[in-house]
Structure 1
Amino acid sequence: MTQNPSGSLRAVVLGGGLAGTLAAAALAPYVAEVLVIERDSALPETATPRPRLPQAAHAHMLWSGGADAIEELLPGTTATWLEAGAHRIPIPNGMVSYSAAGWFRRWTETHYLIGASRDLIDWGVRTGLKAHPNVRVRAGVKIGGLVGDGSRVTGVRVLDEGREESVVDADLVVDATGRDSKAPEWLAEIGGPVVAETVVDAGVRYASRRYRAPEGAESNWPVIHIQADPREGRPGQVVSIISIEDGQWHVSLSGTRGGEPSADEQLFEEFARGVRHPLAADFLARAEPIGEVVVFGRTANRQRQFEKAAMPEGFVVLGDAATSLNPVYGHGMSAAALGALALRDTAAKIPVTAPKFAARAQKAIARPAAAAWLLAVGQDRFYPGAVGKAPNLADKLAARYVQRLNRAAIGNFLVVRALTDVMTMKKPAAILGSPDVLVAAARGLRRPLLDGPPLTEREQSVLDREPLRAEVNKTS
């Protein structure tokens, strides 16, 4: 293990969000100092919102692949979340999911996800970072650009709250500033490369609201997830209910271009009832809304291929700054966590100042992000009005194969296990082409389709109660 070889190395991480915090944790054992530069005037000491994280108001799914990566980087974080009220939800038995092929069976647990607000997840990660005494945060600072040239980055220009500019020297700079990253412009200013960029935008808009869970449904409650079907030739509309802390449900609606949800509170549950199945709306009619509807529309998939550019030494890009994803698939946090783990593993093998360290780290970071990218754009390209490269023959064949897998998964545990491995980012998508999965896909359904949602007696008992509000547009 390469651990602080000279005792004087400094890494500077741009951005104090989830990706930046995990990058700091990844590098802390291998440098003398990690300095996190954050634009906000301060990072919260509690699980409260950050002003520059509008997507935090929407439901988040931290899949087991990402949660396990965070636990490896910051041991004890999972316990911190759970002690603060988060839920460990088993998958697939803890999910009632209506796919394009029908209702998934609730097989025995193979994976899990963390049910919690984004504020709580970020707070738990920040709490874990305190175990590294060589990490410090400098808040209220704006990044002015990179220092160096096309061959090596040696630091960053910063502006404090008084607008005074100074230079922070660094042996390694990690950009984790999110979707608003100016890395391409910064590189251009110092003679760096042009970075190829691909955008696929289905025009997704989110509307989210919190509810107080009905009595008896505050914990050990499944995720309710009604998916869209890209084959229908109409806007894709989705609804998800996820249990979070404080006995609450976090509910998110989403719709692609032409089928977006509204910010109108009166239309929230009407939208939920208009998706492919009204189950989620039936549950919401028996829960109490406790917050306003919040909307968010910056959901385009954007991939910047830094790993394929002739990047200067001493500069790495991580998280949404490199690959930002449509949040409906819940892979952004997990991709960032796995990218940070790849950064740590690279630093464990060679010093951060070694030739080609940045290139090796960037390629390793790109692998999990590329897998999440394929999962997202493989769906989003097919919705009406999607902006970006149209699906080619290979895309269409791949989509048909995934559709066949989803149908086989209704009645085949082997296929469910493989799809869940990929969805939770525990294994690469290549496993879907393994011989046993190919054979299972060819055989198709091994059990009949379910004729309705697979609810337990306890879950059905909630639906048996009188609704608190009229169930708008309910069909008999």
Structure 2
Amino acid sequence: MPTTPAVVLGAGIAGLLAAAVLARHPQVGEVTVVERDRLEPGPQPRRGLPQGQHAHVLMSSGARIIESLLPGTTDRWLAAGAHRIGLPDGYVMLLPAGWLPRWSSDHFVISCSRGLLDWVVRQEVLALPGVRLLDRTEATGLRGGRGRVTGVRVEDLDHGTGRTLEAGFVVDATGRGSRAPHWLRSLGAPPVAEDVVDSGLRYATRVFRAPAGAAHRFPIVNVQADPGQDRPGQTAALMPVEDGRWLVTLSGTRGGRPSADEREFVGFARGMRHPVVADLIADADPLGPVTVSNSTANRRRRFERLPVWPDGFVVLGDAVASYNPVYGHGMSVAAHGAAALGTALDGHGLRSGLARTVQRRIAATAAAAWDHATGTDVRFPGARGRPPGRAERALWRYQSRLMRTALDRPEVARQLVDVLTLSAPANRLVRPGIALATLLGPRRPAPDGPTFTAAERAMLSET
């Protein structure tokens, strides 16, 4: 069977998973992954991913997709030092409605540095037959016309030389900075509509040496903002990561943002709705400076609405929809997008119309995470985006009562966790049984403080 070469732009999670999908398809020949950064032979941070130094979790729905594409990846993450933490049994989490009770479920997150997460996946993908990497290479434009993309122009950043990579299929996974709208305009397409919701969130992250008694099997500790309060949204997350470290990310929206000043880090955490994270790190040894990022706006490009879409070209991952990272959905959405590409390829092959079908499916995979992130962020003071209408405000009231009900009713909590991990559609939360339980509300008050187990408290007492 004749094959066609493919090019994937971007060697982040979205691009690597797209390359894995393409490499296994019988109609695809060589897959070239083009990456602007120089990729080191280890789990170092990448310059082109500034938010990569902050808290990242890969949710179970995304991890399971990656495992299906690259069997054994979960074991390799764990062998490299990542933690598999149950959700919600491995979380001490203050939700807007109160402290989340802990119980066992089949959901989990992979907790480690973003550098380690990407590095393991990159090793697996680049070991696949027919996959090659061109790093320090930048895509500068598409080849072809309005009806079909036939390749991509690239520049070698070390030597300043340009060339064209011919391809029957091109995937843009270059992230927030994608130039796909501009490239499509140069092929004769109309402008791409874009939605933006920006709460002005800033991230500040510092890594600490975990106390000896709590270096292993410690929960993720998370204090979330309450959008129902008339104050900036501030959050704190403490994640166990590889090498016996705690990665701590603080965030705040306009009017309440953290600074890069190391002297203010613990104090900012102490000003949250609860000081639990500040208490945990007050005497911990810092392992580096505070890293700050402002690249947190929710941005969604509506490629699926273009009247004509070129065959042979797909955009996925953050290049389609990027989210405030505090919700932890970005990597899982990228995995779902790669799965949508694989399903369409298996069903249709590389025939005319495939790319448009894939682009519409990718838009659908982004919708639930987009609604969750933007429906929260737009509520904070100074947020920029389309003002909510009456329907949105009514939905907020329902969601607020549902969240409080979930803290007491296990049947509601299970469905909520399914939706928040992107394992189930959001409409599950308005089914008659869940709606009735929400109407009845909680039966008992939520826990009144952090839900550490006796064993976890003993770990802390040993430090």
The offset of 1:131, in angstroms, is 3.8
CA contact (8 A) 1:90 1:113 kept: yes
The offset of 1:464, in angstroms, is 4.7
The offset of 1:201, in angstroms, is 0.2
In 1, Cα distance between the equivalents of 2:408 and 2:42? Answer: 44
The offset of 1:462, in angstroms, is 5.1
CA contact (8 A) 2:7 2:170 kept: yes
TM-score, with normalisation over the residues of structure 2?
0.97
The offset of 1:237, in angstroms, is 0.2
- Counterpart of 2:58? 62
The one-letter code sitting in structure 1 at the alignment partner of 2:6 is: A
The one-letter code sitting in structure 2 at the alignment partner of 1:29 is: R
Please identify, of 42-51 and 173-182, the stretch whose mean Cα deviation from structure 2 is larger: 42-51
Aligned length: 459
SS of 2:446's partner is coil
CA contact (8 A) 1:195 1:306 kept: yes
CA contact (8 A) 2:19 2:131 kept: yes
- Counterpart of 2:76? 80
- Counterpart of 1:138? 134
Match of 1:226 among 212, 223, 226: 223
**5+ residue gaps in structure 2?**
none
SS of 1:335's partner is helix
- Counterpart of 1:126? 122
SS of 2:213's partner is coil
How do 1:46-57 residues align onto structure 2 when only pairs under 5 Å count? 46-57=42-53
The one-letter code sitting in structure 2 at the alignment partner of 1:45 is: P
Task: Provide, for residues 270-313 of structure 1, a one-character-per-residue CA deviation record: whole Å limited to 9, x for no partner.
Answer: 01000100111111124221111000001000000111212211
The offset of 1:192, in angstroms, is 1.7
Match of 1:159 among 150, 155, 162: 155
Match of 2:266 among 265, 269, 272: 269
- Counterpart of 2:452? 455
In 2, Cα distance between the equivalents of 1:131 and 1:49? Answer: 21
Task: Provide, for residues 72-100 of structure 1, a one-character-per-residue CA deviation record: whole Å limited to 9, x for no partner.
Answer: 11111101000011110011111011111
How do 1:397-476 residues align onto structure 2 when only pairs under 5 Å count? 397-461=394-458, 464=461
The offset of 1:109, in angstroms, is 2.5
The offset of 1:446, in angstroms, is 2.9
- Counterpart of 2:364? 367
- Counterpart of 1:388? 385
In 1, Cα distance between the equivalents of 2:389 and 2:462? Answer: 49
CA contact (8 A) 2:406 2:413 kept: yes
Match of 1:213 among 191, 210, 233: 210
Match of 2:333 among 329, 332, 335: 335
- Counterpart of 2:13? 18
CA contact (8 A) 1:323 1:373 kept: yes
Residues 1:89 and 2:85 are matched in the alignment? yes
The offset of 1:449, in angstroms, is 2.0
Match of 1:311 among 289, 298, 309: 309
Please identify, of 381-390 and 441-450, the stretch whose mean Cα deviation from structure 2 is larger: 441-450
- Counterpart of 2:95? 99
In 1, Cα distance between the equivalents of 2:462 and 2:217? Answer: 19
The one-letter code sitting in structure 2 at the alignment partner of 1:28 is: A
Residues 1:8 and 2:3 are matched in the alignment? yes
- Counterpart of 2:376? 379
In 2, Cα distance between the equivalents of 1:98 and 1:356? Answer: 46
CA contact (8 A) 1:155 1:172 kept: yes
Give runs of ≥4 in structure 1 deviating > 4 Å. 462-466
SS of 1:155's partner is strand
In 2, Cα distance between the equivalents of 1:135 and 1:7? Answer: 17
CA contact (8 A) 1:311 1:359 kept: yes
Please identify, of 376-385 and 100-109, the stretch whose mean Cα deviation from structure 2 is larger: 100-109
- Counterpart of 1:196? 193
SS of 1:431's partner is helix
Match of 2:22 among 27, 34, 43: 27
Residues 1:117 and 2:132 are matched in the alignment? no
- Counterpart of 1:323? 321
CA contact (8 A) 2:89 2:103 kept: yes
Match of 1:244 among 235, 241, 245: 241
In 1, Cα distance between the equivalents of 2:401 and 2:452? Answer: 25
In 2, Cα distance between the equivalents of 1:239 and 1:340? Answer: 30
SS of 1:316's partner is strand
Please identify, of 433-442 and 159-168, the stretch whose mean Cα deviation from structure 2 is larger: 159-168
Please identify, of 149-158 and 245-254, the stretch whose mean Cα deviation from structure 2 is larger: 149-158
The offset of 1:433, in angstroms, is 1.3
SS of 1:219's partner is coil
CA contact (8 A) 2:213 2:462 kept: no
The offset of 1:458, in angstroms, is 2.7
In 2, Cα distance between the equivalents of 1:370 and 1:167? Answer: 34
Task: Provide, for residues 28-64 of structure 1, a one-character-per-residue CA deviation record: whole Å limited to 9, x for no partner.
Answer: 1111111111112x32221112121111110101111
- Counterpart of 1:472? none
In 2, Cα distance between the equivalents of 1:142 and 1:456? Answer: 50
The offset of 1:163, in angstroms, is 2.2
- Counterpart of 1:290? 287
- Counterpart of 2:39? 43
The offset of 1:465, in angstroms, is 6.8
How do 1:174-189 residues align onto structure 2 when only pairs under 5 Å count? 174-189=171-186
**5+ residue gaps in structure 1?**
1-5, 467-476
The offset of 1:463, in angstroms, is 5.2
Task: Provide, for residues 303-351 of structure 1, a one-character-per-residue CA deviation record: whole Å limited to 9, x for no partner.
Answer: 0011121221111001011101000001111111111111111111112
Between the aligned residues of both structures, percent identity stands at 51
The offset of 1:110, in angstroms, is 3.4
In 1, Cα distance between the equivalents of 2:161 and 2:42? Answer: 30
In 1, Cα distance between the equivalents of 2:447 and 2:137? Answer: 55
CA contact (8 A) 1:235 1:257 kept: yes
In 1, Cα distance between the equivalents of 2:160 and 2:212? Answer: 52
SS of 2:243's partner is coil
- Counterpart of 1:470? none
Residues 1:350 and 2:345 are matched in the alignment? no
Please identify, of 452-461 and 367-376, the stretch whose mean Cα deviation from structure 2 is larger: 452-461
Task: Provide, for residues 119-140 of structure 1, a one-character-per-residue CA deviation record: whole Å limited to 9, x for no partner.
Answer: 0100111121134111111122
In 1, Cα distance between the equivalents of 2:284 and 2:123? Answer: 32
TM-score, with normalisation over the residues of structure 1?
0.94
